Copies of this chain bind each other. A is one copy, B any other.
Amino acid sequence: MQTIQLTRGVPADESYPLELVRECAAAVMQDPKLSLEAMRYGTGYGFNPLRELLAAQNGVTADQVLIGNGSLSFVDLLGLILTPGATVLVESPTYDRTITLLKRHGVNIVAVPLEPDGVHLEAFTKAVQTYKPTLAYLIADFQNPSGATMSLEKRQAVLALAETHNFMILEDAPYRPLRFRGTSIPSLFELNPAKVMQMSSYTKQISPGVRVGTLVGDKTWLAKFAKAANDTYISGAFLGQATVFEFLKRGHLEPQLARLRALYAPRLERMAAALRTNGLTDFLEPDGGFFLSVNLPSGSSIADILGKAANASLALTDGRGFFVNPADGNQFLRLPFCALSFEEIDEGMKRLAGLLA
């Protein structure tokens, strides 16, 4: 029996714009000026033509844009530039790799419970008052791992707290352009560009292989990120960054995003339907992104089903990894849907229900 992968949030193989990436990489290397710039050393800020393009798109200056080797490494760089022992607020659950990296740097991580419409405001307010954070790391749209999207009211409330209590927000927004339904809510960055740094990535939008993440925001903070990046790897993977630049310049991103939404939205619907068909009704169905999350029925635990999953040819992620206090995730299961066929979704949800029966 073929194992069904319900672990990582990987794009679907059929989503990669292979031909366009080929054209763009070749065009970069054929352009006398661009090719030289793509081959040379640069700074920790990344490939300048892409920075300038994104600065224009975001209505900021180029010194407010940094391009890196994927967006995760920004969290590593953040750990380096924070004062030792600084406090960072995160949602609970949050992206497991962010927890790993912040822990590595000895950051004091304070987790605030997440509701389907964003952080629990009272708990967030109390955490701000108690721990005086330097920064809050928030995934406002189609959150990884829960699928939750923060309401406009909560965004405004969180930003008001950031103003009053003088902390920064690092908004992680890789899924934001992948809204399948409903109306887009202004990003935290759009609502308050002075207090928010927004990171995103072309991993989910073009491919992991181009390895291009972006960080847009306050230039004083970005100068620190750029210094830490330069100390760590001198300059980034410019061949990929230049290829993304060309991809954007040629107007390929919007059609690519439309293709992704058309490909992924039915898979999410299919997964939600398959869960219901199999009697699993306590889940958070997102309006976009890569993940849906299930609250396991009382009496079952993630530890139990992980032990039985391999026998059922199901690969699952341990939900406890998304919680600063792992025990809080005993009944939490994240389900990625983008890279699965309808058949895999139907069969996977059946097997999952079997484990829980």
| Chain A interface (Cβ < 8 Å from any Cβ of B) | 8, 10, 13, 16, 18-19, 21-22, 25-26, 29-30, 35-36, 38-42, 69-70, 72-73, 76, 80, 97, 100-101, 104, 203, 207-211, 231-240, 242-243
Q: How far is the CA of A230 from the CA of B191 in the complex (A)?
A: 33
Contact B18 A209 (CB under 8 A): no
Q: Nearest Cβ distance between residue A29 and chain B, in whole angstroms?
A: 3
Q: Nearest Cβ distance between residue A77 and chain B, in whole angstroms?
A: 10
> Given that A237-B69, A237-B237, A239-B25 are contacting pairs, would A41 and B231 also be in contact in the complex, using a CB cutoff of 8 Å?
no
Q: Sorted from nearest, which 9 A-B pairs have the closest CB atoms? A: A237-B237, A22-B29, A39-B207, A209-B238, A211-B237, A39-B209, A25-B25, A16-B39, A41-B208
List chain B residues, Cβ under 8 A from A73: 232-233
Q: How far is the CA of A36 from the CA of B76 in the complex (A)?
A: 28
Contact A41 B10 (CB under 8 A): yes
Q: Nearest Cβ distance between residue A226 and chain B, in whole angstroms?
A: 15
List chain B residues, Cβ under 8 A from A29: 18-19, 21-22, 25
List chain B residues, Cβ under 8 A from A30: 22
Copies in the complex: 2
Q: Which of A21, A30, A39, A72 has the most CB of B within 10 A?
A: A39
Q: Nearest Cβ distance between residue A84 and chain B, in whole angstroms?
A: 11
Contact A97 B18 (CB under 8 A): no
Closest-by-CB residue of B relative to A37 is B209
Q: Which of A10, A70, A101, A211 has the most CB of B within 10 A?
A: A211
For the complex with contacts A13-B40, A18-B35, A97-B234, 16 further pairs of A-B residues with Cβ separation under 8 Å are A16-B36, A18-B29, A18-B36, A19-B29, A22-B30, A25-B25, A25-B26, A25-B239, A39-B210, A40-B207, A41-B203, A69-B233, A76-B232, A97-B231, A101-B232, A104-B231
List chain B residues, Cβ under 8 A from A41: 8, 10, 203, 208
Q: How far is the CA of A29 from the CA of B26 in the complex (A)?
A: 10
Contact B240 A239 (CB under 8 A): yes
Closest-by-CB residue of B relative to A231 is B100
> Given that A72-B233, A233-B69 are contacting pairs, would A238 and B40 also be in contact in the complex, using a CB cutoff of 8 Å?
no
Contact B209 A10 (CB under 8 A): no
Q: Nearest Cβ distance between residue A291 and chain B, in whole angstroms?
A: 15
List chain B residues, Cβ under 8 A from A97: 231, 234
Closest-by-CB residue of B relative to A206 is B39
Q: How far is the CA of A97 from the CA of B211 in the complex (A)?
A: 23
Q: Nearest Cβ distance between residue A325 and chain B, in whole angstroms?
A: 20
List chain B residues, Cβ under 8 A from A238: 208-209, 211
Closest-by-CB residue of B relative to A100 is B231
List chain B residues, Cβ under 8 A from A26: 22, 25-26
Closest-by-CB residue of B relative to A212 is B237
Closest-by-CB residue of B relative to A75 is B232
List chain B residues, Cβ under 8 A from A208: 39-42, 234-235, 238
Contact B231 A40 (CB under 8 A): no
Closest-by-CB residue of B relative to A32 is B18
> Given that A69-B236, A80-B104, A240-B240 are contacting pairs, would A38 and B209 also be in contact in the complex, using a CB cutoff of 8 Å?
yes
List chain B residues, Cβ under 8 A from A72: 232-234
Q: How far is the CA of A42 from the CA of B70 in the complex (A)?
A: 13
Q: How far is the CA of A108 from the CA of B42 in the complex (A)?
A: 30
List chain B residues, Cβ under 8 A from A210: 39, 237, 239
In the complex, which of the residues B13, B101, B211 contacts A36, with contact meaning CB atoms closer than 8 Å? B13
